[in-house]
Amino acid sequence: MPSRRQIREAAVQFLYSADLEGGAPAADYRETFWDLLTVPDRRKLLHSTFRALEHITQGRTDRLLELSDRAPNALARLSASAETADLKKELQDILRTESQWTMQWDKIVKLPLHDVDNDAVVDQLESALTTLYAIDRALIGARLRFQQALEDHPALRPLIEPAMASIRRLQRISDRVQMLENPQNHPDQTDLKHICSSKSELLALRQETDQMVDVVLKNKTRIDQTIAAVVQNFAPERIDPVDRAILRLTTSELLMRPEIAPGILINEGIDLAKKFGSNDSGRFVNGILDQVAKERAQA
């Protein structure tokens, strides 16, 4: 799980980048912000996902060739009667979607994945994997429909069994692909633990940061009034944007998080100022937050 420090640093970066005094509404900026902030983590996660897919799909080509060898005989059997026209259509749909899966995977392996620091490559890989997952889900549905339809024709089962056996072997690969897409649903899979942990941490960081930011946005007027009470001639636009973001974030917690000692919150604000602000930010932020804490105590 992300630390409180990571969450507060992300919140400050959002409040600064969104420029609450102008530009697009903060809510409209969120997707862009998170795409930019999480590029390094997304890059590592996508690379790990690709390597896992490489391992999972080993042997898929042989299983697909086996299905391709067995499918013509199955299609011929299904063409013998008008009653099995729907079965034939379902099998053809499986073969067509299997081909789409293969073509999409070929696109992925041809990406310049050695250039993992290239943001464009990261975006291409992320988009390509999303498409692959969608094709895989469609393929699972097609296999299931074929299997269910075949139950209505018990006499055909022995004749179609060779093709059905190949379909089941390919389904076992899809089962693993689905685990990779949603590793959080399969906590018992130790080989997916790293990917699951990375996805969970990114999601938790966003959720916790968004909640913290929402408190600031919702109470912005009250926060600015509190700061104005201790700053002579206060005007938000006259304060450095980074310092302003830190003051708003920490003031919101001084006002609304009584369970946290003011000294801790002030020190956290100073640390943020030292990391993101100018040489004078730490002293400036400290002075204002100290006065805000005293005003809170008196109130």
Q: How high is the pLDDT of residue 21?
A: 46
- Give the predicted TM-score (pTM) of the model: 0.62
Domain 4-31+200-298 part of CATH 3.60.15.10: no
| 237 or 280, greater pLDDT | 280
- Mean pLDDT throughout 99-121? 85
Domain boundaries in the chain? Answer: 4-31+200-298, 40-181
| 203 or 207, greater pLDDT | 207
Confidence of residue 186 (pLDDT cuts 50, 70, 90): low
Q: How high is the pLDDT of residue 290?
A: 92
Does 162 score more than 80 pLDDT? yes
For residues 202 and 1, give the distance between their C-alpha atoms in angstroms, rounded to a whole number. Answer: 9
Above pLDDT 70, what percent of the chain?
A: 87
Are the CB atoms for 282 and 44 separated by under 8 Å? no
Specify burial of residue 12 (Cβ count, 10 A radius: 0-12, 13-18, 19+).
buried
Q: What is the CA radius of gyration of the chain?
A: 28
Please report, as a single letter, which amino acid is at residue 21.
E
| 20 or 68, greater pLDDT | 68
For residues 281 and 126, give the distance between their C-alpha atoms in angstroms, rounded to a whole number. Answer: 38
Does 271 score more than 60 pLDDT? yes
Tens-digit pLDDT profile for residues 243-263: 999 999 999 999 999 899 999
Structure tokens at 167: 């379909």
Q: How many Cβ atoms from other residues are within 10 Å of residue 142's Cβ?
A: 20
What is the CATH T-level fold of the domain 40-181, as seen in this structure? Four Helix Bundle (Hemerythrin (Met), subunit A) (1.20.120)
Instruction: Give the 3-state DSSP-derived string for the chain, with helices as H, strands as E and coil as C.
Output: CCCHHHHHHHHHHHHHHHCCCCCCCHHHHHHHHHHHHCHHHHHHHHHHHHHHHHHHCCCHHHHHHHHHHHHHHHHHHHHCCHHHHHHHHHHHHHHHHHHHHHHHHHHHHCCCCCCCCCHHHHHHHHHHHHHHHHHHHHHHHHHHHHHHHHCCCHHHHHHHHHHHHHHHHHHHHHHHHHHHHCHHHCCCCHHHHHHHHHHHHHHHHHHHHHHHHHHHHHCHHHHHHHHHCCCCCCCHHHCCHHHHHHHHHHHHHHHHCCCCCHHHHHHHHHHHHHHHCCCCHHHHHHHHHHHHHHHHHHC
Q: What's the distance, CA 8 to chain centroid? A: 20
